[in-house]
Amino acid sequence: MKLYPNFYFNNILEITIPFLHENAIQGLILDMDNTLIDFDRKLLEGTEQWVAELKENGIQLCIVSNSNHKEKVKTVAKRLQIPYFYFAKKPLKSGFKKAKEKLGLENKQIAAVGDQIFTDVLGANRSHMISILVEPIGKKDIWITRLKRPLENAIIQRGKRKLQEIKKKTQK
Ligand SMILES: [Mg+2]
């Protein structure tokens, strides 16, 4: 199912080096709004350290944002010293493809991280990359995101319930 993420975390900081190694992930495509920065353009606390640690461990990073504010995307990318693509039109595959070429990796070696099922997760799955959904860091979503959120919540809840059912079964 193309709307289901392969993995789900509270935020990007929970994506650790051991996790990436376990899943043979060598590159991350990062969404920006509500994944790296909140509505007030504030970077999630600890992001710079997290990025530095990933880089030290040879993990490559690239921002792929749907935002059409070039300067906004550029400012974050510059601060984190990672390449970026803006106005990416996720879930279309073109942005993911460009990032893949930039990273010089195979699709299976790349995980795309974001807070939205209908852009980030769907686009990653369509691109045959690993999809990671994170909780949005900003509470003040723009209206279009807010419209889509109830359905996303339903999907997340269903996923969590499924996990619990599996856990129960395996405990028996
Ligand atoms: Mg986002």
163 Cα to the center of ligand 1, angstroms? 25
pTM to 2 decimal places:
0.84
34 Cα to the center of ligand 1, angstroms? 5
pLDDT score of 172 more than 80: no
Q: Which H helix or E strand runs over 49?
A: helix 47-56
Domain boundaries, the chain: 7-171
What is residue 6's predicted lDDT score, i.e. its pLDDT? Answer: 95
31 Cα to the center of ligand 1, angstroms? 6
Nearest to 84 by CA among 109, 59, 67: 67
What is residue 83's predicted lDDT score, i.e. its pLDDT? Answer: 98
Per DSSP, helices labelled H in 81-172 are 94-103, 122-126, 143-171
What is residue 9's predicted lDDT score, i.e. its pLDDT? Answer: 93
53 Cα to the center of ligand 1, angstroms? 22
Q: What is the token pair recorded at 27? A: 């590159």
Residues contacting 95, CB < 8 A, separation 6+: 64, 85, 88, 89, 123
Q: Over the stretch 65-116, which tens digit does the pLDDT of each residue have?
A: 999 999 999 999 999 999 999 999 999 999 999 999 999 999 999 999 999 9
115 Cα to the center of ligand 1, angstroms? 5
Q: How far apart are the first and last CA of the chain?
A: 28
Q: Over the stretch 110-165, which tens digit does the pLDDT of each residue have?
A: 999 999 999 999 999 999 999 999 999 976 555 556 666 777 777 777 777 777 77
Q: Which CATH architecture has domain 7-171?
A: 3-Layer(aba) Sandwich (3.40)
Rounded-to-integer distance, Cα 123 and Cα 127, Å: 6
135 Cα to the center of ligand 1, angstroms? 10
172 Cα to the center of ligand 1, angstroms? 39
What is residue 63's predicted lDDT score, i.e. its pLDDT? Answer: 98
CB contact at 8 A, 76 and 63 = yes
Q: Over the stretch 13-65, which tens digit does the pLDDT of each residue have?
A: 999 999 999 999 999 999 999 999 998 899 999 999 999 999 999 999 999 99
164 Cα to the center of ligand 1, angstroms? 27
The residue behind tokens 């900081």 is 13
What is residue 39's predicted lDDT score, i.e. its pLDDT? Answer: 85
149 Cα to the center of ligand 1, angstroms? 12
